[in-house]
Amino acid sequence: MSYINNSNGWGNQHTNHVANKVDHIADKISFAVDMVANAAINLDGAQQELLTLANAPYPPQSTQLISLANRIAANKRQIDDGLAKIKEMARTIDQETNQIQTPHQRGW
């Protein structure tokens, strides 16, 4: 985390506080993006497994297909969770920046 200090020229403690919160949220967004990226990598693995099963000389067993379906479902949930976290944090950033954009704030 890179916190913004008071010597940055903004001169407003409230603005610095909001900027630090936004910076913290950006770090969380980076983590959520990593979650989504890891799920995508896992889906690539599932795709390779499907291709292997499709090219096998014998049909896949139902347990193999169930296991693969469960892995795909888990990765989809991870992607959905990561995207929901990103959306939630974007709303939080919007709320925090609205605080410094309102005309009744002093220091701007």
Our CA angle for 26, 28, 30, nearest 5°, is: 70
pLDDT tens for the chain, residues 1 to 108: 454 454 555 557 777 877 788 788 888 888 889 999 999 999 999 999 999 999 999 999 999 999 999 999 999 999 999 999 999 988 888 887 777 677 655 555
Residue 92, in any domain of the structure = yes
The total number of structural domains in the chain stands at 1
In whole angstroms, give the CA distance from residue 84 to residue 32: 9
In whole angstroms, give the CA distance from residue 98 to residue 53: 53
In whole angstroms, give the CA distance from residue 77 to residue 36: 10
Residue 80, in any domain of the structure = yes
Residue 64, in any domain of the structure = yes
Which two structure tokens, joined as six digits, stand for 86? 């990103």
Residue 96, in any domain of the structure = yes
Q: What is the pTM of this model?
A: 0.69
In whole angstroms, give the CA distance from residue 40 to residue 46: 10
Q: Which domain holds residue 55?
A: 12-101
Give the pLDDT score at 107. 52
Residue 97, in any domain of the structure = yes
Give the pLDDT score at 5. 52
Residue 59, phi then psi, degrees to nearest 5: -70, 150
Residue 3, in any domain of the structure = no
**Residue 39 burial (CB count, 10 A):** 19
Residue 5, in any domain of the structure = no
Residue 68, in any domain of the structure = yes
Give the pLDDT score at 51. 96
3-class secondary structure per residue, 26-66? HHHHHHHHHHHHHHHHHHHHHHHHHHHHHCCCCCCCHHHHH
Q: What CATH number is attached to the domain comprising 36?
A: 1.10.287
